[in-house]
Each structure stands twice: as C-alpha cells, then as structure tokens.
Structure 1
Amino acid sequence: MSKISKVEIKPFVESIYLKPFRMSFVENGTERNWDLMEVHDSVAIIIYNISRDVLVLVKQFRPAVYYSQIPLVDRKEIIDTAKYPAALGMSIELCAGIIDKELSTVEIAKEEILEETGYSVPCDQIQFVSSYASGVGTSCSLQTLYYCEVKDDMQVTKGGGVDDEFIEVVEMTVPEIRQYISGKSIMSPPSFLFGIYWFLLNKAKAEV
C-alpha cells in the first residue's frame, strides 16, 4: 500500500505527456469552444493465469482518483493526508502503458506485461481484442486492448513497474472479480470494466 505526504496542488506547467489546447468550431450554426488535452495513445492487457485460474491485475496510486475523493471544501493548496490517506487514490486496473516508443502496439504490450507483472509473454501469444477512444470528453487518444494467458512458470520477475512506479500485482478469481465489478463505487477506469466484461463473456469458464 502506498503512503503519501506533502501533497500540494500547483498551477499547471509545461509537460511532455500533456498538451492542453482549445478547439473552436461551429456546430449547427452555433459557435462553440472545447478545451482538450493531447495525450499519448496507450495499450491495456487482460492477463489470465491459467495455472491458478486468476486474473492478473495491477493496483496503484492515481492522483486524479485521489483528488476526486477530496470534497471541494478541502481541495486547497495543501492537502491534509492524515484526513485523506493514499488509500482513497488506489485504483485496480488492467496492466497498461502509454505508447511512447517506435514499437508496434503488441510489442509495447509485451514490455508492459513484463515490467508491471513480471510475466514474459511472446508477442504471438498476445491476442488483439479491440481499439477504442479513451477519455472522449477531454483527451484525444486511442487505447488498444489485448488478451493473453500465462502460467506460473512464465513469471520471471516480481513485476511492480520501473523507475519511480509503485505498482502492486493483484490476483482475483472470477467470483472475486464478479463481486468487485458489482460494487456501487468502483475505483477503476471504464477500460478496465470493458476488458473484464469482455473476458467474462468470451474467456471465463462456465460456473457450475
């Protein structure tokens, strides 16, 4: 579990990952403006461990999730982390990553699987599922979803990400994942839900 401290809300500065801009246009004779954010395309991977019948997921602290859980009255420059602990910002997700290299999407998916979960999976064992728009309200990106099956002997490291990433590998059985997505407050992105429902519809074993 991550621990956070010294949380400060600061003005936006130039970023290599985000490019904010405004689009103006005329729609049905009405002039409109829309604020957008240019971001990297990405990949996400549904990973199913067939040795133990578990989905392999990742859990990490997401500042945007954390911020959304803080009431407006307390969204000040300095956030009280004793009152609002890191647990509020923990998100369970599919293994995923941005496309920031001159590689194919399946090659990037292979890298992300290894970095985040520790499984070494050949590209020809990674199945394409779908590509879809991500963050249609404010961002301009495409996410490509893949599926792969792994075995215990394919895990060559503990995973956990690289550099300054703090990623926890989480395993869930099918009954556990069904219970999780049935909750009333799910701290996971829509792409996670799409991937899980795709898995349940197309790959999960019939429950007796």
Structure 2
Amino acid sequence: MDTSMINLRINEIKKSKYIKLYNINLIKNGKEISWEYAEIHDSVSTLLYDENKKSFLLVKQIRIPLLYKQIKNNISSKNLGYTYELCSGLMDKNLSEKETAIEEILEETGFCVKNLEKIATFHSALGTSATKQTFFYAQIDDSMKIGKGGGIDGEEIELFYLPIENAREFLNDDDYIKPASLGYCFMWWFDKFGFRL
C-alpha cells in the first residue's frame, strides 16, 4: 500500500458506540485498588473450511488501528494495514452467539451456513476489558454461496482461501498479520481431523 496516498486525522472522541471507559475503585483486604476498564462487546468467530477446495476460508480486511500503528512506528509490510482473520463479529444485536456467527458469515463471505460446531470460548485483553470470544467451526461449499459477501459499513472484506497444506507456512510468515486465535483454531482442526500441521 502506498502510504503517500493515506491522509490520517486523529481526533480524541468523548463518546463511542463501541467502547466505554471507566475507572474502577475497590477495596480488597483493606487496600484500595484503582483500575481502568474498557467495556467492549463480546464477539464470535468461525473457522470456515471448504472440503472441495481443501482450504480454509479466511477474511482479509483493512484494520485502521493496525494501519495507524504501522505508519506511526514506521513499520513496513507488503500487507500494510491488512489482517487475515476468521470470520468474526461483535455481539451487539441481541442475538445468540450462533445466530451472530451465522449472520456474520453471510455478511462477510456470502455463505449461508446452518450447522456450526462450537470450538471453545476464551477471554482476551484481561487487563483492560476481559472480553469474551466464542469460536465455531463450519464446513462450506459452493452450493451454500448465496451472496457476494464483502461485509457492511465499508468493511472492504476480501475472501482468502488458504490450502491446508500451506497453513504452517502461513502461520509462520510475519507478513501475514493474524490473531493468535487463528493459530489455535487451525491446531484444533488439524487435531480433530487427524492431520499434522
């Protein structure tokens, strides 16, 4: 990405629809503790596998915080600002975890999935928000494709098929920015289906 074509403006926000900041004070064992807390929506993510293509389907999308951090710290990358992730979404619509995952899969990839298998639930950012993320697994094929995907609200999501034989190389390649949860879900899949990563 040509950074000369990027114009960044940074403004402090007083109120966000996604993040609420609090200062928590408590007394424990006679000692007062003060801690900053960021209230952030819980989320769901789904590992998608196309049996016919023998590939995982990931989403490639620009992440503005990553882009900003890379530019600010003069970090170069052939995928500047872009991440490779599981299909994911926030729990912000009063839907169940499975309903949210199914909706996000359709919005981001265009696949209509009915059956999900739960992988695990984890908590992240324990020192700031302790948000919960639940992971699912689903198989897909071309017969389930009913839309073009790409996300909503300017997400600019691209579909990225990763052949299973390239998974280890992909995980070890620092030019592909990805969350640790992606590696965990790959290991879960390879363990469950008897493949070696």
Question: TM class, shorter-chain normalised?
Answer: 0.7 to 0.9
CA distance in 2, matches of 1:67, 1:44: 24
1:92 counterpart letter in structure 2: Y
Q: Structure 2 unaligned runs (5+)?
A: none
Q: Structure 1 unaligned runs (5+)?
A: 75-82
CA distance in 2, matches of 1:34, 1:86: 38
Give the CA RMSD over aligned residues. 2.6
Instruction: Give 1:49 shift.
Output: 0.4
Instruction: Give 1:43 shift.
Output: 0.5
| TM-score calculated relative to the size of structure 2 | 0.87
Does the 8 Å contact 1:54/1:171 carry over to 2? Answer: yes
1:51-130 alignment runs, 5 A limit: 51-72=52-73, 87-122=79-114, 125-130=115-120
C-alpha distance 196-2 of structure 1, shift in aligned 2 (>3 A): farther
CA distance in 2, matches of 1:17, 1:160: 21
Identity fraction in percent: 33
1:99 counterpart letter in structure 2: M
1:138-177 alignment runs, 5 A limit: 138-177=128-167
CA distance in 2, matches of 1:115, 1:184: 28
CA distance in 1, matches of 2:48, 2:117: 10
SS in 2 for 1:131: strand
SS in 2 for 1:10: coil
CA distance in 1, matches of 2:142, 2:185: 22
Q: Which residue of 2 aligns with 1:191?
A: 181
Q: Which residue of 2 aligns with 1:19?
A: 20
Instruction: Give 1:51 shift.
Output: 1.1
Instruction: Give 1:84 shift.
Output: 7.2
| TM-score calculated relative to the size of structure 1 | 0.82
C-alpha distance 204-108 of structure 1, shift in aligned 2 (>3 A): farther
